[in-house]
Structure 1
Amino acid sequence: MSTAIVVGAGIGGVTAAVALQRCGWQVTVLERAPELGEVGAGISVWPSAVAVLEELGVKGVEKASVQSRPAGMRRPDGRWVVGAPDLGMELPVMIHRAQLHDLITAEFGPAVTVRTGYDVRTITQDAGGVTVNDDLRADLLVAADGIRSAVRSALYPQYKGPRYSGFTAYRGIADVDLDDGGGETWGRGQLFGFARLIDGRFYWYGTANQPAGTTSEPSVFESWHDPIPRLIAGSEKILQNDIYDLTLPLVPFVQGRVVLLGDAAHAMTPNLGRGACSAIEDAGALGRHLTSATLQTALAAYDAERRPATTKLVKRSRGLGRLAQTANPIVCTVRDGLFAVGGKLVALRARK
């Protein structure tokens, strides 16, 4: 039986473990944290990622999530710029990260072994396999250890790696009673978005331009339109994280018997809401190629499929982030006007 080591047990890592298990592989998942789990925040799962999870046998995603209600883009004073339906956008399902993680790990069978509290220090490979810390060996290693991937750094020591986007992000779960479809509000150098979860609570996020490493509070949003102040006030815990993505061009996702997946391969800003979904799609593609080809051919096909696709997403997300976070009042006025006109044109075309 073929064997694999998956480094990192986030959304991408556990999905990769399920995909490899379905290919008939014996899988060892290594997680540095003392236990499995995900941070307390929401996540948007787009139809393409939902389809991959269904193909892998992951059950209950739709039942544990809620379809996004009609939403759109507003100004800080509450005036609508454009509605999402007017732009012809597909809508994701919203789910708590921890719930999604539990649904995926529920598919672990006897072929998957999890080792927590394990710190990867060294990786060596040869023609016959990959060795981790001189005590674990497998035919394949999948690095799903995040944006600051130790595996990627070992493979490509000259690569610049993470790049600060220029803005920080706040996230929270609010237990408030609202009748609002959510969406995003774009200001000058700040952005706020929210969406309902299946249990009735709301996941929200805000971004603000500031130097890296600055600890701050989302007080700038207290003067924005309702229900933004209520969402912040109704949150028991608020997380803050500076936003980074990976320097372009991305490094090859495959080197020998080592594969990069998820943020370790293509970390992007959250502006498109595609980061975790791309990791899920990586895992689906890896399993699909391994099922139909030899190891070397499968890994080459995986890189050829996923690196160009995710490079485009990194670029698009970065560009959208720059547009959303601009603080120039003239650019903001033009930006909002273009979105409004674009929405009207799309809606008019749809009626015809």
Structure 2
Amino acid sequence: MKVEIIGAGIAGLTAAIALEKRGFQPKIYEQAKNLKAVGAGIILASNAMQVYKRLGLDEQLKSQGIPLNALNITNQKLQLISKVDLNYFKNKYNLQSLAIHRGKLQQVLLDNLKHTEICLDHQLKNITQQNEAYQLDFENGKSVNSTLLIGADGIHSKVRANLFPTGKIRSMRQICWRGVTQFELPSIYKNELNEAWGRGDRFAFVQFSHDQIYWYAVKSFKQSEKEFSEDHLSSYFQKYPPIVQEIIKATPAHTLHTTIMQDLKPISNWHDEFSCLIGDAAHATTPNMGQGACQSIEDAYILADCLSKQNVLDAFKTYQKIRMPKAHQVVKQSWQIGKISHWENPVAIAIRNKLLKLIPQKLNQVQLEKLFQLEKIIG
């Protein structure tokens, strides 16, 4: 069966690989004129790595990233507040979470496509239903017919806008700067992600290759993101330890990726008879849990699994029933973390940090265990 996929991001590429392995013939339409190794870092948590292990990609990815042993939340002085030891999940699933450059992940996925054609410079314009098919019209003037359509085209999805026009994009009123730079981290920070929570802001860093780190900085704004400038970034985080200043200053300003923290307010339906949404097109989340891409990867694999076992409509229904509760819980929880981590009242911050310290590491582990567990349909 032929499948048209809109979007050659992580969700679209992973879906194409999973579908190929099940005998489908995917074809991807991507709005970009070329696929560059762009972006910053990404965390492939245990749930994503379990999927890639099933797809036979885990060893290739391990060679391109750095394994993570811990996820830490600290105060503004980089003093530990909360820690999740990832070695438990390493032993349970016989794999490790990875920090990796998004471009390297993209290249591994591209290298593992066997016969999927990627049509570049194809920005979707309109979708028209014609009996038991869709006519897809692109901005370049071309049109194609589709009997099985997957929308993997991100938070601003044209597929969703055409077929499920109910999505509302929400802003957290926070601006995020992401950077990649050559930097030698002290040994105490290696193989772990550290996120420091300040007062209305936070800063995080992680090593993702032998000589590079990925970092991000987030700050709340009152009226507009224009309140802040990349040129003065180091001054916004001057109350943090010297290593934070060193990391910022080691990163050329023109290489930064600046975005507004936003998500998609949960919608109640991801599919109709012939089309289905996956990834950010269905449930875009703020990146406060490092689960945006991971949830997209789960979507791609589970949808392919459902399509290989059921007729299209039943497969879409099963996929939505399995994936929606977990994905929406991630959206909700990530939004809450984004708010709590940016409290500004000193008393509230002190209480928050004290309470986080009191949470047993075992409880953090149990919560992540639910997040990392893949649904039973995956065999």
CA distance in 2, matches of 1:89, 1:209: 33
Deviation of 1:145 (Å) = 0.7
CA distance in 1, matches of 2:86, 2:143: 56
Q: Greater shift after overlay, 125-134 or 187-196?
A: 125-134
Deviation of 1:78 (Å) = 3.1
Residue of structure 1 equivalent to 2:122:
118
CA distance in 1, matches of 2:28, 2:224: 32
- Name the TM-score, length of structure 2 as normaliser: 0.85
**Structure 1 runs not aligned, ≥5 long:** 348-352
CA distance in 1, matches of 2:54, 2:129: 31
Residue of structure 1 equivalent to 2:377:
none
CA distance in 2, matches of 1:203, 1:243: 18
Residue 30 of structure 1 aligns with an amino acid whose one-letter code is Y
Residue of structure 1 equivalent to 2:264:
246
CA distance in 2, matches of 1:172, 1:280: 23
The equivalences for 1:301-320 within 5 A come to 301-320=318-337
Q: Is the 8 A contact 1:35 1:117 kept in 2?
A: yes
* Number of residue equivalences: 344
Q: Is the 8 A contact 1:57 1:107 kept in 2?
A: no
Point out 4+ residue stretches in structure 1 off by more than 4 angstroms.
86-91, 343-347
Percent identity of paired positions between Structure 1 and Structure 2: 28
CA distance in 1, matches of 2:310, 2:338: 38
**Structure 2 runs not aligned, ≥5 long:** 91-95, 365-379
Q: Is the 8 A contact 2:70 2:86 kept in 1?
A: no
| Root-mean-square deviation over aligned CA pairs | 2.3
Deviation of 1:316 (Å) = 0.8
Residue of structure 2 equivalent to 1:9:
8
Are positions 1:92 and 2:97 aligned together? yes
For residues 69-93 of structure 1, what are the alpha-carbon distances to aligned partners after superposition, in whole Å with 9 as ceiling and x for unaligned? 4452222223332333399787731
Deviation of 1:222 (Å) = 3.1
CA distance in 2, matches of 1:295, 1:304: 14
Q: Secondary structure at the match of 2:237?
A: helix
CA distance in 1, matches of 2:17, 2:70: 33
CA distance in 2, matches of 1:118, 1:281: 26
Residue of structure 2 equivalent to 1:154:
162
For residues 100-133 of structure 1, what are the alpha-carbon distances to aligned partners after superposition, in whole Å with 9 as ceiling and x for unaligned? 01111111112x1111111111112345322211
Q: Is the 8 A contact 1:10 1:37 kept in 2?
A: no
Deviation of 1:326 (Å) = 1.5
CA distance in 2, matches of 1:64, 1:28: 27
Residue of structure 2 equivalent to 1:201:
212
Are positions 1:258 and 2:269 aligned together? no
Q: Secondary structure at the match of 2:32?
A: coil
Q: Secondary structure at the match of 1:148?
A: coil
For residues 289-322 of structure 1, what are the alpha-carbon distances to aligned partners after superposition, in whole Å with 9 as ceiling and x for unaligned? 0111111111111111111110111011111111
Q: Is the 8 A contact 2:70 2:87 kept in 1?
A: no
CA distance in 1, matches of 2:89, 2:240: 25
Are positions 1:296 and 2:313 aligned together? yes
Residue of structure 1 equivalent to 2:246:
230
Residue of structure 2 equivalent to 1:350:
none
Q: Greater shift after overlay, 134-143 or 286-295?
A: 134-143
Deviation of 1:170 (Å) = 0.7
Residue 264 of structure 1 aligns with an amino acid whose one-letter code is A
CA distance in 2, matches of 1:302, 1:37: 31
Q: Is the 8 A contact 1:83 1:343 kept in 2?
A: no
CA distance in 2, matches of 1:113, 1:253: 25
CA distance in 2, matches of 1:78, 1:213: 26
Q: Secondary structure at the match of 2:62?
A: coil
Q: Greater shift after overlay, 313-322 or 87-96?
A: 87-96
